[in-house]
Amino acid sequence: MLTSNPFSELAVSIPPGVMQAYVFLALLLVIGGTAFDVIHKGSARYFFENMQRSKKRGKRTVGGAEKVAIAAKTFTHDVLVTGELGNSNRRIAHLLGMYGFILFVISTAVMIISYPTAGDLTPIIWPLLWHLGALMVCVGGYWFWFVMRVDVASEGASPFQLMKADLFILSLLATTTFALLWSFFQAIGASGLGVFFFVLFIIAATIMFGGVPWSKFAHMFFKPAAAFEKRLSEADGSMNNLPPPVDAPAKFGLGIKREQANHY
């Protein structure tokens, strides 16, 4: 199971060209959905206008070399390792899901495009990464969903309470879960269950890629831009115009202490 390419075995019933067309369709859905999200919500305009306002409030000019350094730090700290989450279980779950998703998507594309037929000798590394990626998503995703969500962990809400914002994480978990089940039943020769879970896998994947405008899928593209803008504001001093926090020293005339947050 772990070392076999499930898509090449599928080629006996589904032409490789159909599977490859689906991969490109998924890519187009992500690009189109993200573009629609940007236009509909005005995200790009918001970031541009916010950066312009920050620039006017700034106390110093940030040079080109410093901007490059800030961009590099944003990429390495905020994107690659999600450092803003600190040393928390939430960060571990996020990294498992993020890198699992990357491994799963890349290995899927490679196996379908480069080794689509049963006669192709797929290097073991690709099915291994495919299964590993799916497992990482499931571990991180289910851990977050049932244990670490704020409303579940702190407010006692049911983990089965759903909102539109949950579309991406749920469709992603369904995609990887059904993918693993399809691979398992296909490997043991249970063709009926294999076909059943393959159909569910395709439905879940289509919802995930097709639901970009209504889910948090595009959030992964906006988050780096927001992190960069925040670091840029800190560098030019424009963030210093915020009022003092509620637990500021007495010299500000504020003796109120901040209460401990009751959420995770």
- List, for residues 149-165, the tens digit of each pLDDT value: 655 545 555 666 667 77
Work out the average pLDDT over 113-123.
82
User: Do the beta carbons of residue 130 and residue 111 sit within 8 Å?
Assistant: yes
pLDDT at 188 over 80: yes
Rounded Cα–Cα distance for residues 235 and 229 (Å): 10
Which pairs from 70-76 meet CB under 8 Å and 24+ separation?
70/228, 70/231, 70/232, 70/235, 71/228, 73/231, 74/224, 74/227, 74/228, 74/231, 75/224
* Domains in the chain: boundaries: 6-240
Per the prediction, the chain carries an average pLDDT of 80
- pTM as predicted: 0.75
In angstroms, the CA 127 to CA 103 distance is 10
CB atoms within 10 A of CB 29: 18
Report d(CA 11, CA 42) in Å as an integer.
Answer: 42
Determine phi and psi for 234, rounding to 5 degrees. -65, -35
Q: Is the pLDDT of residue 227 over 80?
A: no
